[in-house]
């Protein structure tokens, strides 16, 4: 679908998922430097520090949940198509653009809903890391529902576009 044909919500979803993808890439680069700093400090200077490992773990989580919506939007995820490849193009479209995203909607909705509950509970009890750093856990746990909420929007757009394609195809047949 050309960029001009997209609705405003689709353009916003595309832009947000692209921003999250770029942010994810930047976090991976920062994670690389942080891990390298921790290793050099530990082995070259025999002076370990506790922060680089914690930061790397946080950024690994962030990079995953931020990139997942863009991966879905771009259709770059792994697909097992040994069954669907034997079906017609119409059936493949229904599976890839309607059935699979609807199944993903349930998964993303559940992770968003429970992620918000867990993050709010973490805020309520003032949960902190058990490391020597003792950073608050709430902001870290909040990133999961934020990333999956965007995935939820991407999946909704995919289902909508899947049904719109079927409707336009049916309209062409009746003409």
pLDDT in tens, 138-168: 999 999 999 999 999 999 999 999 998 888 8
Mean pLDDT (the chain) is 89
Q: pLDDT at position 94, please? A: 87
Q: Could you tell me if residue 143 is inside a domain?
A: yes
Question: Which range of residues forms the domain containing residue 155?
Answer: 3-76+86-174
Q: pLDDT at position 3, please? A: 53
Q: Write the pLDDT tens digit of every residue in 98-138.
A: 999 999 999 999 999 999 999 999 999 999 988 778 889 99
Residue given tokens 């919500």 in the structure block: 9
Burial of 92 (0-12, 13-18, 19+ CB in 10 A): middle
Hey, what's the torsion of the CAs at 93, 97, 100, 103, to 10 degrees? -140
- CA separation, residue 30 to residues 63, 75, 148 (Å): 11, 26, 22
Give yes or no for residue 17 having a pLDDT over 90. Answer: yes
Q: Could you tell me if residue 81 is inside a domain?
A: no
Q: Could you tell me if residue 53 is inside a domain?
A: yes
Query: In this structure, are residues 92 and 80 in contact, taking their beta carbons and an 8 Å threshold?
Result: no
Q: Could you tell me if residue 105 is inside a domain?
A: yes
Q: Which residue has the higher pLDDT, 87 or 23?
A: 23
Quick one: average pLDDT of 30-34? 94
SS3 of residue 128 by DSSP: strand
Give yes or no for residue 174 having a pLDDT over 90. Answer: no
Residue given tokens 């863009």 in the structure block: 70
Cα-Cα-Cα-Cα dihedral sign, residues 35, 38, 41, 43: negative
Q: pLDDT at position 4, please? A: 62
The rounded distance, in Å, linking the Cα atoms of 21 and 27 is 10
Quick one: average pLDDT of 90-102? 88
The domain total for the chain is: 1
Q: pLDDT at position 172, please? A: 75
Q: pLDDT at position 87, please? A: 83
By 3-state DSSP, what share of the chain in percent is helix, strand and coil, each rounded to 5? 80, 0, 20
């Amino acid at each position: 679908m050309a960029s001009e044909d997209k609705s405003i919500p689709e353009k916003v979803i595309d832009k947000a998922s692209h921003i999250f993808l770029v942010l994810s890439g930047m976090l991976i680069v920062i994670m690389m430097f942080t891990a390298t700093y921790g290793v050099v400090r530990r082995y070259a200077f025999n002076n370990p520090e506790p922060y680089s490992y914690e930061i790397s773990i946080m950024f690994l989580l962030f990079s995953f949940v931020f990139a997942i919506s863009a991966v879905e939007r771009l259709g770059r995820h792994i697909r097992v198509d040994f069954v669907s490849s034997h079906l017609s193009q119409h059936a493949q479209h229904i599976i890839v653009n309607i059935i699979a995203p609807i199944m993903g909607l349930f998964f993303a909705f559940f992770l968003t809903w429970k992620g918000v509950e867990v993050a709010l509970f973490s805020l309520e009890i003032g949960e902190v890391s058990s490391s020597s750093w003792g950073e608050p856990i709430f902001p870290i746990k909040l990133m999961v529902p934020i990333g999956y909420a965007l995935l939820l929007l991407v999946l909704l757009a995919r289902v909508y576009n899947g049904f719109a394609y079927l409707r336009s195809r049916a309209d062409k047949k009746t003409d």
